[in-house]
């Protein structure tokens, strides 16, 4: 399992966000994307999640070029963005079970997700009543509700307290140990062993 990028350049409108970004990520590895506000962290993660098209550069999944045809990449990753992706009128369990079903998973992975992020007490609470931290956990629980080798995480720690930051770090470490990959943008160092760094302020590749 591997994800690599070669000389990725992005323009928004006519403005240059970043250029010539490259990285190479193998199974079990994580990439920490750093940079000040506006350096293009979110943009890079959205490009990796195929929500944006870069103006130049190539992407490879398992050494297959997915720049044009992303068929092999489909369903291989999860993207956690700034938005909570929750329907306020559905309960925590209903929200998660929809995403599990949407990705072709059954009840078992739903229970795993609820356990993994300690949501058991909240499972029948409508998502509209959750606090910001609880919403974030429910959102992160999608990572376990349907397994995928690559996690793309944009500010996964925001609104989490120290206990849940540790919990999240544990889930991420398990994911990496099992051979998974992760791409994350955070302000603080997660302290993941052997994680690579990509500093967008430095304006070059890792």
Partner 1 sequence: MKAFFSLIARDLKLAARQGSAVALSLCFFVIVIVLFPLGVGPEMTVLARIAPGVLWVAALLACLLTLDRIFQADYEDGSLDQLVIGPLPLSFLVLAKVIAHWLTSVLPLIIIAPVLALSLNLASDGVIAVTFALLIGSPTLSLIGAVGAALTMGMRRGGVLLSLLVLPLYIPVLIFGVAAVEAAVAMLPMAPHLLLLGGMSLGALVVGPLAAGAALRLALE
Partner 2 sequence: MAIDLHKYANPRRFLAITSAIYPWSLALTVILLAAGLYTGLFVAPPDYQQGETVRIMFVHVPAAWMGLMIYTFMAVASAVGLIWKHPVADLSAKAAAPIGACFTFLSLVTGSLWGEPMWGTWWVWDARLTSMLILLFLYLGYIALWQSFDDPSKASKAAAILALVGVINVPIIKFSVDWWNTLHQPASVATMSGPKIYSSILTPLLIMGLAYTAFFVTLLIIRVRAEILARRLRILQLSELQER
One of 2, 4, 9, 112 touching partner 2 (CB under 8 A): 9
For position 14 contacting partner 2 by CB under 8 A, the verdict is yes
Of the pair 126, 205, the CB lying nearest partner 1 is at 126
One of 2, 6, 60, 85 touching partner 1 (CB under 8 A): 85
Q: Quick one: CA torsion of 187, 191, 194, 198, rounded to 10 degrees?
A: 10
Q: How far is the CB of 8 from partner 1 (least distance, A)?
A: 15
- Residue 57's binding partner among partner 1, partner 2, none (Cβ under 5 to 8 angstroms by kind) is partner 2
Of the pair 77, 168, the CB lying nearest partner 1 is at 77
One of 37, 68, 104, 124 touching partner 1 (CB under 8 A): 104
Of the pair 37, 71, the CB lying nearest partner 1 is at 71
Whole-angstrom distance, CA of residue 11 vs CA of residue 150: 25
DSSP string, the chain: -EEEEEEEEEEETTEEEEEEEEEEEETT-EEEEE-STTSSHHHHHHHHTTSS--SEEEEEETTEE-SS--GGGTTSEEEE-SS----TTSBHHHHHHHHHHHTT--HHHHHHHHHHTT-GGGTTSBGGG--HHHHHHHHHHHHHHS--SEEEEESTTTT--HHHHHHHHHHHHHHHHTT-EEEEE-SS----TT-EEEEGGGTS--
Q: Which of residues 18-57 bind partner 1 (CB under 8 A)?
A: 49-53
Q: Which of residues 123-182 bind partner 1 (CB under 8 A)?
A: 142
- Decide the pairing of beta strands 150-154 and 77-80: parallel
Q: How far is the CB of 202 from partner 2 (least distance, A)?
A: 17
One of 1, 2, 4, 19 touching partner 2 (CB under 8 A): 19
Q: How far is the CB of 64 from partner 2 (least distance, A)?
A: 22
- Judged by the rule CB under 8 A, the positions of this chain that interact with partner 2 are 7, 9, 11-16, 19-20, 55-57
- Judged by the rule CB under 8 A, the positions of this chain that interact with partner 1 are 49-53, 74-75, 77, 79, 81-87, 89-90, 94, 98-99, 101-104, 142
């Amino acid at each position: 399992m591997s994800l690599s990028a070669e000389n990725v350049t992005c323009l928004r409108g006519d403005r240059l966000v970043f250029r010539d970004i490259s990285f190479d990520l193998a199974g079990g590895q994580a990439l920490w994307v750093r940079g000040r506000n506006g350096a293009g962290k979110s943009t890079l993660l959205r490009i990796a999640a195929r929500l944006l098209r870069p103006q130049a550069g190539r992407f490879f999944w398992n050494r297959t070029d997915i720049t044009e045809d992303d068929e092999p990449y489909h369903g291989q990753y999860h993207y956690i963005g700034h938005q909570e992706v929750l329907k306020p009128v559905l309960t925590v369990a209903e929200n998660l079970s929809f995403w599990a079903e949407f990705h072709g998973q059954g009840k078992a992975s739903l229970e795993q997700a609820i356990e993994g992020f300690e949501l058991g007490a909240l499972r029948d609470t409508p998502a509209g009543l959750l606090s910001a931290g609880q919403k974030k956990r429910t959102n992160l629980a999608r990572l376990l509700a349907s397994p995928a080798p690559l996690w793309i995480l944009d500010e996964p720690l925001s609104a989490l307290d120290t206990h849940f930051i540790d919990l999240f770090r544990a889930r991420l470490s398990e994911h990496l140990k099992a051979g998974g990959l992760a791409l994350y943008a955070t302000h603080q160092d997660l302290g993941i062993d052997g994680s690579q760094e990509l500093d967008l302020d430095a304006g070059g590749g890792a």
